[in-house]
Structure formats: C-alpha cells, structure tokens
Amino acid sequence: MVNPAGGESPWEIPRIPASAGALIYDEAGRLLILKPNYKAGWTIPGGQLEETGESPWQGCRRETLEECGLEIKRGRLACVDFLRPRSGRPGGVRFLFDCGPLRDEQLATITIDCAEIDDYRFAELGDATALLSGPVRRRVLAAAGSKHCVYLEDGRRVKDVRS
C-alpha cells in the first residue's frame, strides 16, 4: 500500500464489500422483484458498488438501470445492514433505498438484462418476501413502510439503535 505522504505504508486499511438495492413499487403498491439467473430465488434491483469510488446511491441507480432499464431519479435511504464475515463470505454493508412508486408509463419501459435476469414481476409485499432470499427478505421487511432509515446487523434490528 502506498502512503499518501510518499513511500510504502506499514499497515493496510481494511476493506469490506458494499452493495445497494432499490425498493421500487408500481402505482398499486406492489414491489418489483427480479429472478436472477446466477443464484437461486428472487431479489430486488441492485448489486455491488464499483471500486472506482461509486457511492451507494450511484450504485443503486446504475444497477437498477443495468438490470431492468429503469432510470431512478430519487430515493430515500431506508435501510443499512451490516453483515459480519463468515466462512466463504466476506460480509459487508448493504444499503437499501426506497424509490417509491413509479408511474405505469415508466414501468412499461422495463427491459431486463438477459445476461443476469431471467424474469421480473410486481408482487404484493407478502408474496414478494416469500420469494426473496433470507437476507434480502429481512431488509425489505424491515424497511418497507418505515418512515425512518432502519439499521440492521446480519438482517436484524439492534436493540440499542433507534430508527
């Protein structure tokens, strides 16, 4: 590692992966979910942040555009989830943005990226969460309908942190 003052640094700054996802609803209040072809189950639009210094909001917007062709203009940070590293999994931080309901005209422009996504649908929250993987399900359930940003660790609320 290079020291900004010049030369090699004697220590390395720890790095953890980060990702960002979007809660997108139709005008009837149903949640947009995607069926990826690279893992089991369904998910929401989103993915890993780029190492170029991309912010969580930028990553959320980029991934949503790439995966389903939707240009997100606004959102509210709804959830931050810290995942501890485990064997075979590096852990990281997951950001979830509530992008609200989009107009039917905008949703009619959905174009999925067939390299990553096999299908999409809008589902009532209960139906959607039954299809989502455990970690995504816990984040979505904690954030959906919440007026404030929710802080989670490993998908669960922390009793000493108020939302």
Task: State yes or no: pLDDT of 8 exceeds 90.
Answer: no
pLDDT (average), residues 100-126:
96
Average pLDDT for the chain = 92
Q: How confident is the model at residue 12 (pLDDT cuts 50, 70, 90)?
A: confident
Cβ atoms within 10 Å of 146's Cβ, excluding its own = 14
Q: Give the least confident one: 10-24, 76-90, 114-128, 147-161.
A: 10-24
Report DSSP state, residue 49: P
What HEC string does 17-30 produce? CEEEEEEEECCCCC
**Domain spans of the chain?**
29-156
The mean pLDDT value for 46-62 works out to 96
Distance of CA 142 to the CA centre of its chain: 13
- The structural architecture, per CATH, of the domain 29-156 is Alpha-Beta Complex (3.90)
User: What pLDDT, on a 0 to 100 scale, did the predictor assign at position 103?
Assistant: 96
Q: What is the pLDDT of residue 92?
A: 95
